[in-house]
Structure 1
Amino acid sequence: MANVWGDLDLLLDSPSSLTVTSTARGTIKEKAGFKAAEDVVALRKAIEGIGTTENTLVDVLTGRSNAQRQLICKAYQEGHLSVLGNNLVPNITVNDHLSCTLCIPACYTHTQGPGTTEATLTEIFASRSNKQIKALSDAYLAETGRSMTHDLKSEVSGDYATTLLILAEGKRDESTNVDTAKAKADAKALYEAGEKKWGTDESKFIDILCHRSVPQLRQTLVEYKALSNKTLQESIEREMSGNLEDLLVAIVKCVKSVPAYLAERLFKSTKGVGTTESILTRIMVGRSEMDMLDIRAEFKKLFGCSLYSTIKVFADNLDRKLCHHR
């Protein structure tokens, strides 16, 4: 894995999911001839029948784009509220343990109650663009009535909190111009703040990694390796520890390749590292219309097996465990 992340040869010419907003690399497309009312009827029959018909739920909800699913939610709530006494999302959640993260902000459950899951917050804020963070912030406010940054401030602390809150502002420079001289200067500043210094000036790492544009940071990574003969990731791992190290490494990885970073997260989740089902659900649903084709390709490149086969083995093992406990 270190060798993969250390390869910077093609970095400057590679597209980035943080700057490219196309849906062409997604696996979920809009269904032609879509009619929300027809899907609502099918879902209602599946949910109200004797035992939930999971195949219907899966076919409908995974065969529609997110925009179409939102129309289904709206039609379901408007047309059947008096019959079911609720809207679509809770009714699906009640049946079995199918996970449908259609409308709920992904980070809400990780800023509430004991045991904030920093790994989830790290993944979300390191891998999202300014536009995506703004949409998440708006959805969080609509769902909870509170600002996202307000809740984050109450749950995290120290340099980790400082870094996370800067990212949560969604104000990373979006310029596509690269200043090579500035990249050299930033690389030198990072080297002097870490490897060359007794102790580490974390604030310098936080400032540069959280504010510079993705193209600028990519040039900085190249300049840093040329200057120090180490990757910036290696230096961060040598100089820091804990949640701050994890977050700064995640930022560096996402600057290089968001799909590769998320492929790594998926692989670890299927091996029991961290909360497994929630990671799988969040990434598979959240990236299905964005860059899932790229995530699949990076997964195969990194781990030598397909994402499909890996998830299938994981799901089969999970089913066996559930059957054992029943």
Structure 2
Amino acid sequence: MSYPGYPPSDGYPAFPGYPPTGQESVYPPAGQYAYPAVPGGFPPSGGGTYPAAPPNAGFPGAAGYPAPGGYPASGGYPGAPQAGGMPPYPGGSGFSVPPTGPGFGGYPQQPPAQSYAGGGPAQIPGFPGGQVPSPMPGLPAAVVQCTQGTIQAAPNFDAGRDAEILRKAMKGFGTDEQAIINVVANRSNDQRQKIKAAFKTMYGKDLIKDLKSELSGNVEELILALFMPSTYYDAWSLRHAMKGAGTQESVLIEILCTRTNQEIREIVNCYKSEFGRDIEQDIRSDTSGHFERLLVSMCQGNRDENQTVDYQKAQEDAQRLYQAGEGKLGTDESCFNMVLASRSFPQLKATVEAYSRIANRDLLSSIDREFSGNVERGLKTIVQCALNRPAFFAERLYYSMKGAGTDDSTLIRIVVTRSEIDLVQIKQMFTQMYQKTLATMIASDTSGDYRKLLLAIVGQ
């Protein structure tokens, strides 16, 4: 596999701030998430119900969220702090989710696929089963679009014309950044590769080198990321997460625990062909223990992708997980690895629901109690993607900008990699979870051409 313009010999210099000095986001912040089962608004499929919580049992360690005597029928948790603008959780169940601080609970589940006019659920690449999710309870059906990405292939595309526009934007004194933004933010990744090839054919120059000479900082990182083939960008991000001193474990988790089998296999092959290295060996040398085993499992790209759910197996897996964790002294980590690394995402969703009935506790809460550090974050990422993949990325985006400073590399990576897959749904979940739009938060956290380009990709 070869990627024009990105020979490893160039070294493809590390982007400014990559890894972000002192700003590497640890996802999720240790001890900050409880993700208890949500009563009321999100009953498990198949008609099951969450058992009533025994006194003070539903939310261990989440001070302020005891549930004496079970869940209140009218929704809302006794003692839940309302200060700080805690928005009502989507679905109208009365459950309030604080967007900041400890006690963030109730990871939203991804609703089942919904049939649209014309018959059958819409098939969309990038979603488990390729199906568009139905809206969250209480959200009008019209909000969910069949088109998932904010960036679409431009109609009447002319690679030569775009190459000419970029050449004029960079020629002479100064750079017309707006002209560059207008092109790159409105072309698909495949079209950008064609522009890159046309540029070299027409002018005998490398577009990437010209862009690097004209741009700097975050806007340079963002534009170069947009011009990388998507598989190469994932492989490049993984390489830089393990290159040099230290390891960016959150990047390894974000990519390896969320991609499809085909995407992972292509990433593994690209990593080998472009960097001359074996990704599994690099993971083994940079990580250890149960976290290493989880990532090696992910690298195989062998997750079951059968979209038919076996509810009997879900019940058996839920019982197995309970006996491996909450139901015994100590934890059988290999059992968690086996189930979460091999089952399909729809199957895992059914397992999570069965687990809540067996353990009287959400699986995410049990993982919180039984694991710690990077393996905890990796296992929870898999469960979160099974429940609601767009909500997982919305949360990652939120914490890349929350507080002092911005984790620009995480912000750029997620916006770029999801821009043609499910950024529409990520934006919707972001608004529901944090009561502000993604565009609003980006606008307040960034500036200049960097802000303009991000907003052009995300859409208003």
Instruction: Compute the TM-score of the two structures, normalised by the length of structure 2.
Output: 0.64
**Residue 14 (str. 1) matches residue 141 (str. 2):** no
AA in 1 matched with 2:112: S
Q: Which residue pairs with 2:209 in the alignment?
A: 90
Task: Using the TM superposition, give the Cα deviation of residue 280 of structure 1 relative to its aligned residue in structure 2, in angstroms.
Answer: 1.1
In structure 1, distance between residues paired with 2:171 and 2:275: 29
AA in 1 matched with 2:216: D
What is the CA RMSD across the aligned residues, in angstroms?
2.5
AA in 2 matched with 1:279: T
In structure 2, distance between residues paired with 1:311 and 1:90: 28
2:150–2:423 CA contact under 8 A, matched in 1 = yes
Q: Which residue pairs with 1:214 in the alignment?
A: 345
Q: Which residue pairs with 1:30 in the alignment?
A: 153
1:119-268 to structure 2, matched below 5 A, reads 119-268=250-399
2:152–2:188 CA contact under 8 A, matched in 1 = yes
Other structure's SS at 2:174 match: coil
Other structure's SS at 1:301 match: helix
In structure 2, distance between residues paired with 1:265 and 1:220: 24
AA in 2 matched with 1:52: T
Q: Summarize the Cα distance change of 1:273–1:283 in structure 2 as closer, same or farther, 3 Å threshold.
A: farther
Aligned residues: 316
Q: Which moved more, 1:100-109 or 1:178-187?
A: 100-109
In structure 2, distance between residues paired with 1:170 and 1:118: 19
The CA deviation string for residues 104-129 of structure 1, in whole angstroms up to 9 with x for no partner, is 33322112111110001111112111
Other structure's SS at 1:174 match: coil
Task: Using the TM superposition, give the Cα deviation of residue 5 of structure 1 relative to its aligned residue in structure 2, in angstroms.
Answer: 6.7
Q: Which residue pairs with 2:53 in the alignment?
A: none
In structure 1, distance between residues paired with 2:263 and 2:278: 16
AA in 2 matched with 1:304: Q
Larger Rg: 2
Task: Using the TM superposition, give the Cα deviation of residue 3 of structure 1 relative to its aligned residue in structure 2, in angstroms.
Answer: 8.2
In structure 2, distance between residues paired with 1:21 and 1:107: 28
In structure 2, distance between residues paired with 1:318 and 1:92: 14
In structure 2, distance between residues paired with 1:296 and 1:185: 36
In structure 2, distance between residues paired with 1:280 and 1:303: 16
In structure 2, distance between residues paired with 1:40 and 1:151: 38
Task: Using the TM superposition, give the Cα deviation of residue 142 of structure 1 relative to its aligned residue in structure 2, in angstroms.
Answer: 3.0
Task: Using the TM superposition, give the Cα deviation of residue 2 of structure 1 relative to its aligned residue in structure 2, in angstroms.
Answer: 6.0
1:183–1:219 CA contact under 8 A, matched in 2 = yes
In structure 1, distance between residues paired with 2:331 and 2:422: 36
Q: Summarize the Cα distance change of 1:273–1:264 in structure 2 as closer, same or farther, 3 Å threshold.
A: farther
In structure 2, distance between residues paired with 1:142 and 1:130: 19
In structure 2, distance between residues paired with 1:5 and 1:89: 47
In structure 2, distance between residues paired with 1:265 and 1:283: 8
Which residue of 46, 64, 75 maps to 2:169?
A: 46
Task: Using the TM superposition, give the Cα deviation of residue 139 of structure 1 relative to its aligned residue in structure 2, in angstroms.
Answer: 2.7
1:17–1:257 CA contact under 8 A, matched in 2 = no
Q: Which residue pairs with 2:199 in the alignment?
A: 76
Q: Summarize the Cα distance change of 1:69–1:228 in structure 2 as closer, same or farther, 3 Å threshold.
A: same
Instruction: Compute the TM-score of the two structures, normalised by the length of structure 1.
Output: 0.89
In structure 1, distance between residues paired with 2:415 and 2:245: 26
2:253–2:378 CA contact under 8 A, matched in 1 = yes
Structure 2 unaligned residues grouped into runs of 5+: 1-31, 46-108, 114-125, 133-145, 452-460
In structure 2, distance between residues paired with 1:239 and 1:253: 17
Identity among equivalent pairs (%)? 35
Q: Summarize the Cα distance change of 1:141–1:49 in structure 2 as closer, same or farther, 3 Å threshold.
A: farther
Other structure's SS at 2:128 match: coil
In structure 2, distance between residues paired with 1:12 and 1:114: 38
Q: Which moved more, 1:63-72 or 1:267-276?
A: 267-276
Q: Which residue pairs with 2:95 in the alignment?
A: none
Q: Summarize the Cα distance change of 1:202–1:318 in structure 2 as closer, same or farther, 3 Å threshold.
A: farther
Task: Using the TM superposition, give the Cα deviation of residue 47 of structure 1 relative to its aligned residue in structure 2, in angstroms.
Answer: 2.3
Task: Using the TM superposition, give the Cα deviation of residue 257 of structure 1 relative to its aligned residue in structure 2, in angstroms.
Answer: 1.1
Task: Using the TM superposition, give the Cα deviation of residue 90 of structure 1 relative to its aligned residue in structure 2, in angstroms.
Answer: 3.4
In structure 1, distance between residues paired with 2:402 and 2:110: 32
In structure 1, distance between residues paired with 2:244 and 2:398: 28
1:4–1:302 CA contact under 8 A, matched in 2 = no
Q: Which residue pairs with 2:426 in the alignment?
A: 295
In structure 2, distance between residues paired with 1:174 and 1:267: 29
Q: Summarize the Cα distance change of 1:152–1:273 in structure 2 as closer, same or farther, 3 Å threshold.
A: farther
Structure 1 unaligned residues grouped into runs of 5+: 321-326
AA in 2 matched with 1:163: L
In structure 2, distance between residues paired with 1:123 and 1:294: 18
In structure 1, distance between residues paired with 2:272 and 2:131: 24
Other structure's SS at 2:151 match: coil
AA in 1 matched with 2:316: A
Task: Using the TM superposition, give the Cα deviation of residue 4 of structure 1 relative to its aligned residue in structure 2, in angstroms.
Answer: 6.9
Q: Summarize the Cα distance change of 1:78–1:5 in structure 2 as closer, same or farther, 3 Å threshold.
A: farther
In structure 1, distance between residues paired with 2:256 and 2:352: 20
Task: Using the TM superposition, give the Cα deviation of residue 290 of structure 1 relative to its aligned residue in structure 2, in angstroms.
Answer: 0.7
1:28–1:289 CA contact under 8 A, matched in 2 = yes
1:17–1:259 CA contact under 8 A, matched in 2 = no
The CA deviation string for residues 208-235 of structure 1, in whole angstroms up to 9 with x for no partner, is 0000111111110000000011111000
1:18–1:128 CA contact under 8 A, matched in 2 = no
